[in-house]
């Protein structure tokens, strides 16, 4: 008999969030320097990401066991211990996010949120975010810098996933696809507890409403999908 067993780790909403965010960041990346229809795609990608972030923040409190922030929030001592453990002959394998992975999650959520927020206040030539000019803010430069920071974090995250997968012999990427990890019979870990249906409905609804509300805002200077030409007059200087 095999001494390996399959343990359910990541719930479906968490996995869909992960890959949807990855795909939308790529879309935003390759449409960010373009004009016309591509600029509109860039805006919509950012507003969809905003809804995803809202969903993930809520899911971090009311979602499945391994998706909750409390499951992988780690202090400095745990992070240092994990780094040292990586240099051992047989590093410990974690069921959910390891301490460094937890740090990566919080950093990525924070930086992606900052990129989205500055994007809402960025733009020119009638293709800006819906709030550019509000309170006198135009944050295109900050948006660009933060996106470069995000690119660097994604690269570091991918490197970390590779190192962790190799050193700990833990298939992290397949686990985020299937939701399961393989463990020896003598290794600790049980199937993660799932969230209730109502929690999922609440998180999805708030996230979707956030995106729909942002998409419904007219573009700065006009030029929306329906050819609208009205600007946010209330945002203009007197």
Q: What is the dihedral of CA 154, 158, 164, 167, to 10 degrees?
A: -140
pLDDT, position 1: 45
Predicted local distance difference test score (pLDDT) of residue 124: 63
Residue 237's pLDDT is 43
Q: Which residues in the chain show pLDDT less than 70?
A: 1-2, 34, 124-127, 220-238
62-72 confidence digits (pLDDT tens): 999 999 999 99
pLDDT of residue 99: 93
| Apex 56 CA angle, 50 and 40, nearest 5 | 20
């Amino acid at each position: 008999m095999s001494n390996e067993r399959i343990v359910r780790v990541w719930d479906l909403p968490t996995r869909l969030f992960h890959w949807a965010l990855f795909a939308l960041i790529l879309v935003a990346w390759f449409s960010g320097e373009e004009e016309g229809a591509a600029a509109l795609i860039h805006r919509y990608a950012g507003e969809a990401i905003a809804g995803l972030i809202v969903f993930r923040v809520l899911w971090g409190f009311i979602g499945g066991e391994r998706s909750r922030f409390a499951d992988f929030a780690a202090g400095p001592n745990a992070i240092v211990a994990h780094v040292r453990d990586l240099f051992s002959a047989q590093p410990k394998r974690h069921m959910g996010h390891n301490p460094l992975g937890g740090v990566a999650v919080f950093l990525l959520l924070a930086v992606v949120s900052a990129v989205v927020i500055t994007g809402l206040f960025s733009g020119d030539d009638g293709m800006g975010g819906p709030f550019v000019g509000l309170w006198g803010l135009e944050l295109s430069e900050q948006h660009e810098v933060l996106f470069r920071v995000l690119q660097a974090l994604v690269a570091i995250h991918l490197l970390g996933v590779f190192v962790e997968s190799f050193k700990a012999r833990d298939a992290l990427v397949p686990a985020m696809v299937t939701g399961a990890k393989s463990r020896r019979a003598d290794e600790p870990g049980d199937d993660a507890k799932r969230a209730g249906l109502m929690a999922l409905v609440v998180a999805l609804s708030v996230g979707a409403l956030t995106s729909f509300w942002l998409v419904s805002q007219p573009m700065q200077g006009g030029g929306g999908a329906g050819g609208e030409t009205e600007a946010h007059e209330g945002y203009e200087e007197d």
